[in-house]
Structure 1
Amino acid sequence: KIQKTKEVFVEFLSLAKELNLPVVLHFRQALEEGFKLVTQNNVKEAIFHCFSGKKGLAQEIVNQNYYISIAPNIFRSKNIKKVAKTIPLEKILTETDSPFLAVEGEKNFPQNVKFVVEKIAEERKISPVEVEKIVDKNASKIFRLPLT
């Protein structure tokens, strides 16, 4: 079953390359193995959605010119705080993973992404406005959208 899953995944990676589209990836309990498949298949643009790995793997991901998306797990994970603090801001995207990953005791909504931006700014000791501008630019670049 795992082998078939890998084969289908590789087909989707090939399709993304053929269509010149970024891939958005969420690897649960297979992050390193998934990263290997992405690099082995020469994927040009990738977003590691709801990243949950360690700083070393995050660095390997950005070394491949891929993006890491930071979600509300930054509020619970020391690893994600380290990642948000150390990898280049030009390789970070933000998200809520709504309705999942709510900040404890709260409901999660898309507009809560501002809290993720604020937490990244706090960890980096910079202004949330600066984080927001760079993250907007990153999203615009990878999704080929005009900046508003």
Structure 2
Amino acid sequence: MLPYVNIHTHRPTGSGIELRTAGVHPWNADMQEVATLGERLSDVQAVGETGLDFVHGPAREVQFGALRAQLRIARERGLPVVLHCVRAFEPLMRELAACEPRAVIFHGFIGSPEQARQALAKGYFLSFGERAFASPKTLAALRETPLSQLFLETDDSPVPIAEIYARAAEARSVPAEELQRATLANYKRTFETQHG
């Protein structure tokens, strides 16, 4: 039986594949020391979640500083990044272009199909969770995302990952197993081929 890949969760279950990350969330950019992040990266697979949030959190310049430092660390260590992005898509895309990490995952993507196309054109991954199903524009983005750039997640939701897969499969009119195969292949390509 294929495992479920849960690319971003705040409620680890110990079943399936759950990504190990460390990072400074944009909401905490003024409280957590980015300088010590390097010490916390010994057993992680990605830097995150980092990013920008123009609705919550400290001043934008503080968030930009924390993000830039984490993008540099990710690039130096050859690690992917898991991104939080709220009403900051264009600025975040500019920051990524200036210091592009090995791989990029927009977690909890709730943007428009146009934003999805911009991120996908750069080779980035989009990860969808429960909130995607409440938004017609995000559902359209989910349907358009190539399987080779798709991840699914629970984030902070208590909904089981199997249910997220079932709902995404229904939205795309494909068997859930097809999504499991695709996300497992994406996971292996992104994380099991890392150097070091």
| Aligned positions, number | 135
The answer to whether the 8 Å contact 1:62/1:87 transfers is yes
Q: Calculate percent identity across the aligned residue pairs.
A: 24
Distance of 2:93 and 2:153 partners within structure 1: 20
In the alignment, what sits opposite 1:122? 170
Distance of 2:85 and 2:170 partners within structure 1: 27
Aligned letter for 1:126? V
The answer to whether the 8 Å contact 1:95/1:113 transfers is yes
Q: Secondary structure at the match of 2:126?
A: strand
Please list the CA deviations of residues 17-39 of structure 1 after superposition, one character each: whole Å capped at 9, or x if unmatched: 00000001111222332122112
The CA RMSD over aligned residues, in Å, is 1.6
Q: Secondary structure at the match of 2:68?
A: helix
Aligned letter for 1:50? G
Q: Hey, which of these two has a bigger chunk of helix by percent?
A: 1
**1:62 maps onto 2:110 in alignment:** no
Q: Secondary structure at the match of 1:26?
A: strand
Distance of 2:124 and 2:192 partners within structure 1: 15
Distance of 2:138 and 2:153 partners within structure 1: 13
Residue pairs, 1:33-52, within 5 angstroms? 33-52=91-110
Instruction: Choose which of 137, 141, 145 in structure 2 pairs with 1:87.
Output: 145
1:55 Cα deviation after fit: 0.6
The answer to whether the 8 Å contact 2:125/2:150 transfers is yes
Aligned letter for 1:113? I
Instruction: Choose which of 69, 73, 76 in structure 2 pairs with 1:15.
Output: 73
In the alignment, what sits opposite 1:5? 63
Please list the CA deviations of residues 110-129 of structure 1 after superposition, one character each: whole Å capped at 9, or x if unmatched: xx111221122112211111
The answer to whether the 8 Å contact 1:74/1:119 transfers is no
1:144 Cα deviation after fit: 1.8
Distance of 1:4 and 1:26 partners within structure 2: 15
TM-score by length of 2: 0.64
Instruction: Choose which of 89, 108, 112 in structure 2 pairs with 1:31.
Output: 89
Q: Which has the higher contact order (CA 8 A, sep 6+)?
A: 2
The answer to whether the 8 Å contact 1:74/1:116 transfers is no
Distance of 1:57 and 1:36 partners within structure 2: 13
Q: Hey, which of these two has a bigger chunk of strand by percent?
A: 2
In the alignment, what sits opposite 1:133? 181
